[in-house]
Amino acid sequence: MPLYGYIADGYWKDIGNLHEYQLAHEDVLAGRVKVTFDATDQGRFHGGTGLSIAPSATFEGTVVLGDNVVVGDHAKLRNCVIGSGCSIGAGAEMSHAVLWSDVQIGDYAEVSRAVVCDSVTIGSRATVGENAIIAEGCVLGDHARLLSNVKLWPRKVVESHAIVTRSLVQEERWSRVLFTDARIGGVSNIDVNPEFAAKLGACMGMAFGVGTTVISSRDDDPVSRIIKRSITSGLMSVGVNIADLQTTSIPQTRQELHTGRYVAGFHVRRSPSAPDRTDIIIFGRDGRDIQLSQTKSIERYFFGEDVRRVSHEHVGRLGFPERSTAMYVSRFLQTIDVESIREQHFRLLVDYSFGLASTAFPQILGELECRTLSMNDYVDSAHFADPLADVLDESATIMRSLGYQIGFKINPGAEKIALVDERGIWFTSLRLLTIVTKLFLESHRGREPYRIAVPVQATQEIEAIAAPYNVEVVRIRNSHSAMMEATKDASVAFVGGTRGGFIFPEFLNASDGMYSAVKILEMLSKTGYQLSKLDAELPKRHQVTCSVGCTYEQRGTVMRLAMEYSEGKQRMLIDGVRILEDHVTVLLLPHKEEELFVVMAEADDIQTARKTCDIYAELVSHWRFGRNDGHEDLVNS
């Protein structure tokens, strides 16, 4: 059905959480919103009726007082909203505070950037930190301290001189991005700490159900060990059983889910993008990432505090599945043409990046009778480097000097690969996608028609090489979740990513670096291609990327004007706005986690790509402020 939008002047905010609620008040007090106060402007403040204001009280910024408010001697109020029936003691200091009705603030108390609900009593010289939330009917004794970001639920009593340190700072910080797709990430042992993990595990268990079984795994990092055990404890406390694979790669864990014995799974790892961060990835029963509906269910339990522990006899059980690696290897080899690979007697260089592939991949390569030189072939989380960005000269030298045919670099999580040919040349991840796609198309001749899926960020090299085949190219969002989602279409036989990950649905509906490497060997065996010649023969496009600073508030404006600008042009709206014109392709999309707008330009030569990228970056800079004047002149120049 048609979907219509209306561009309205004025102010709009979705007050979906407490932080947004506070920001809305700040916007009103700062004059960003045209609001008529139900109070009289009395010079120093806006006030209702029945006020009792000490002459020595001071007011700064915008202060709004309800009816029957009392403000004591030398009290200081700055940018505050004070509800009816409130009493502010002598010498009290209030800054950016929101008080509901009938709140009693003691003498010399301090309240900063907090929200205080109805009928709360705060004692003399008590302190309420920034972003604290106090629900109705609570009592803080004299000299009590409520630290920043702490929540008090209704009718709690804090004794005099007590310091409330049980902070929900992580939950507040994560209120907008607890999940990024199916992943939760944060600073190791600070954001992602044992208390947080145990609570998350309990909430996961509430979503999965009592009596179900969940599979777990982790990498070798010591923080991952702590967090996995904490999540496990939380799950078991609400009656969920655990099958613990211990130190196991993500692809092996996903493959184990295919047995059908588990409702879900999770893996804890050191973040591949930052050594001081920990990731928690949650899988659904089919091995794909958990669905959005389940992440929302977990979040509701997490923020709602509605967790029900089970009785002693119903606590979950912990087990350790046997032969999971052997089953993985067996399934692996069943879906590969083993004999065609054995006949080639490949000479390989494999860099394991000190990761989990070293626990299973040597056995697979042995079965395939490959002569292999291994590097960094033991698990050690102390070594941290991005395996797909850190191109080692040593590897290239070995390839050239020893005459090895192909080299793989597998990331620590065993999901992605980089590739070096017999010349010692490492391929970029985009070029690798083109090469692997060509190998797949050629080795699957006769299977057409079918579909292949690649992200919208992939170059148009893909359409160029797919043209001679009876194959449809489907563009998808540039995320692993979108890649996995594409495999739900039975006609999709291959999904290629732009970061070194590939999905072959006949084996697994997610990226597996070990399987991708062996599949490349199989396809080389069947087609007779040599990597260097293939690279030389395939069409080549050049892509340039730049970023423009863009606040979250400006993103909507940029997207709207990008839509208006591209109206009538050939475009895709899968992930951002992708414009195709005159052999030039431009992709405009907001950065997922930072206040940036990304511009990706692609052309047959690098100079045109750079020029196009600069032009559209300038357009985005204009669009941030709602300006669309003269953009045609800028592009035509």
Q: pLDDT at position 187, please?
A: 83
HEC profile for 447-495?
Answer: CCCEEEEEECCCCCHHHHHHCCCCEEEEEECCCHHHHHHHCCCCCEEEE
**What gap in Å lies between CA 110 and CA 237, rounded to an integer?**
40
Q: pLDDT at position 632, please?
A: 54
CB under 8 Å to 392, separation ≥6 — which residues? 351, 409
In a domain, 160, yes or no: yes
Indicate if 188 and 150 belong to the same structural domain: no
Which 3 state secondary structure label does DSSP give 558?
Answer: helix
Q: pLDDT at position 13, please?
A: 87
In a domain, 331, yes or no: no
CB 292 within 8 A of CB 243: no
Indicate if 121 and 215 belong to the same structural domain: no
Indicate if 238 and 290 belong to the same structural domain: yes
Q: pLDDT at position 303, please?
A: 67
In a domain, 9, yes or no: no
Which of 516, 540, 564 corresponds to the end of one domain? 540
CB 278 within 8 A of CB 224: yes
Assess whether the previous peptide bond of 449 is cis (omega < 30° from 0). Answer: yes
Q: pLDDT at position 14, please?
A: 86
CA dihedral sign of residues 420, 422, 425, 428? negative
Which 3 state secondary structure label does DSSP give 328?
Answer: helix
* Domain housing 37: 18-167
Which of 522, 540, 558 corresponds to the end of one domain? 540
Q: Which residues of the chain have pLDDT under 50?
A: 166-177, 386-391
CB under 8 Å to 177, separation ≥6 — which residues? 593
In what helix (H) or strand (E) does residue 311 lie, and over which residues does it extend? none
End-to-end CA separation in angstroms for the chain: 40
Task: Give the angle 198-593-543 at the CA atoms, nearest 5°.
Answer: 135
Q: pLDDT at position 387, please?
A: 44
Indicate if 487 and 449 belong to the same structural domain: yes
Nearest alpha carbon to residue 549 among 590, 593, 505, 596:
596
Which 3 state secondary structure label does DSSP give 112?
Answer: strand
Q: pLDDT at position 595, please?
A: 82
Indicate if 568 and 464 belong to the same structural domain: no
Nearest alpha carbon to residue 457 among 494, 490, 429:
429
In a domain, 194, yes or no: yes
**What gap in Å lies between CA 10 and CA 33, rounded to an integer?**
8
CB 427 within 8 A of CB 396: no
Q: pLDDT at position 385, please?
A: 52
Helices 324-334, 250-257: axis angle to 10 degrees equals: 80
- 368: domain CATH number is 3.40.120.10
Which of 167, 186, 206 corresponds to the end of one domain? 167
Indicate if 59 and 79 belong to the same structural domain: yes
Q: Which residues pair with 475 in a beta bridge?
A: 454
Domain total in the chain? 4
Indicate if 506 and 547 belong to the same structural domain: no
pTM score > 0.85 for this model?
A: no
